[in-house]
Amino acid sequence: MPSLRLGDIAPDFEQQSTQGPLQFHAWLGDSWGVLFSHPADFTPVCTTELGLTARLKAEFSKRNVKVIALSVDPVDKHGAWIEDINRTQNAVVDFPILADADRKVSELYDLIHPNASTTATVRSLFVIDPAKKIRLTITYPASTGRNFDEILRVIDSLQLTEYHSVATPANWKDGDDVVIVPALQDAELIRQKFPKGYTAVTPYLRLTPQPNRA
């Protein structure tokens, strides 16, 4: 099947997980979601990633984000792996891990790349908004762990730009100045939307303090 693209509706599915049968769209509800895949259970890089995800629970929660992982191994193997993760990573994994032994979800999300492996899923991640649209995709090689600071940064950007007429510049972090989108040209509307004012570096590059910050 063709790869999923930004703006596509994230495929719905029902699959077994460490928290029982799970209907994906219903489970997401009105939340944002992060779905991320792992090549297999008991792999070292994935162990660190799942442990860090668990330790970042408060950061995801305050952004109204639910996290869900996937591996092609069965539920009982997931359970044993979670015990290892909790013990070695000083964490409590309390989010679901999908047991995709039949590769149903892996095929829906194009997670098996034959030139990398004919059986193991690649290390892909999807950020999904409350309308179930895919807003970000990142695919890492099996040897490289994810940067969770970047994942949280992008979620902050997506949520900010969803509700304000701004974009975020290179290396932006929450609290930094943002860019007024070029489509917004009406001077009076700009003054209303950005009462803190703005700096016009060029007619198309206009910087303003982050609008949802005091």
Q: Catalytic site residues? A: 46
17 backbone dihedrals φ, ψ, rounded to 5°: -145, 175
Question: Which of 128, 67, 71 minimizes the C-alpha distance to 98?
Answer: 71
Sign of CA dihedral 198, 199, 203, 205: negative
For residue 188, what is the enclosing H or E element? helix 187-193
Sign of CA dihedral 21, 24, 25, 29: positive
For residue 37, what is the enclosing H or E element? strand 32-37
**What pairing do the DSSP bridges indicate for beta strands 134-140 and 123-128?**
antiparallel
Question: Which of 148, 142, 149, 119 minimizes the C-alpha distance to 43?
Answer: 142
Residues shown for the chain: 214
Euclidean distance between CA atoms 42 and 38, whole angstroms? 10
> Which residue in the block uniquely carries the two structure tokens 């790869």?
3
Q: Are 109 and 4 in contact (CB under 8 A)?
A: yes
